[in-house]
């Protein structure tokens, strides 16, 4: 995406999806239309768009629950499934400080004009953003 003259982008990181979603909601309610929420991962897999709930029988794989990766149970490449399953966060022996993206794995991207940068930044900060 190329920004038009006078447009600016803001990248804000969040430690949890609930705060990031609240920030997106607040930005959209304030009139911002170019707002996007993504999850940053150390792995080249798609983020799972479905809610993984093992109690309701909605967990296709262990990595789907722990790494939020989509359809890893259907990956035909056994090596990929084995490597994802060997991640410390999946096996349950995660060392201290071992978090995806430094503990701030949720990224909100916003496009705004120069006059609204401070207002948008304030909304993001109020919802717990890190810049």
Query: 31-45, 49-63, 100-114 — which is least confidently predicted?
Result: 49-63
* pLDDT, average across residues 55-61: 62
Q: Residue 71 and residue 45: Cα distance in Å, rounded?
A: 9
Domains in the chain (CATH in brackets) are: 1-40+104-131 (3.30.70.2750), 44-97 (no CATH)
Residue-wise pLDDT for 70-84, tens only, equals 555 555 566 766 676
Higher pLDDT, 20 or 81: 20
Burial of 75 (0-12, 13-18, 19+ CB in 10 A): middle
Residue 15 or residue 94, greater confidence: 15
């Amino acid at each position: 995406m190329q920004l038009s003259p006078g447009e600016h982008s803001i990248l804000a990181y969040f430690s949890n999806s609930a705060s990031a979603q609240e920030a997106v909601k607040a930005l959209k309610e304030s009139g911002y239309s170019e707002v996007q929420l993504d999850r940053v991962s150390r792995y080249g897999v798609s983020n799972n768009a479905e809610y993984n709930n093992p109690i309701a029988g909605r967990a296709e794989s262990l990595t789907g629950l722990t790494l939020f990766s989509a359809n890893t149970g259907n990956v035909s490449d056994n090596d990929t499934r084995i490597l994802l399953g060997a991640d410390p966060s999946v096996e349950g022996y995660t060392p201290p400080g071992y978090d995806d993206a430094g503990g701030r794995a949720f990224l909100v991207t916003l496009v705004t004009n120069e006059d609204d940068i401070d207002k948008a930044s304030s909304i993001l900060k109020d919802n717990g953003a890190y810049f």
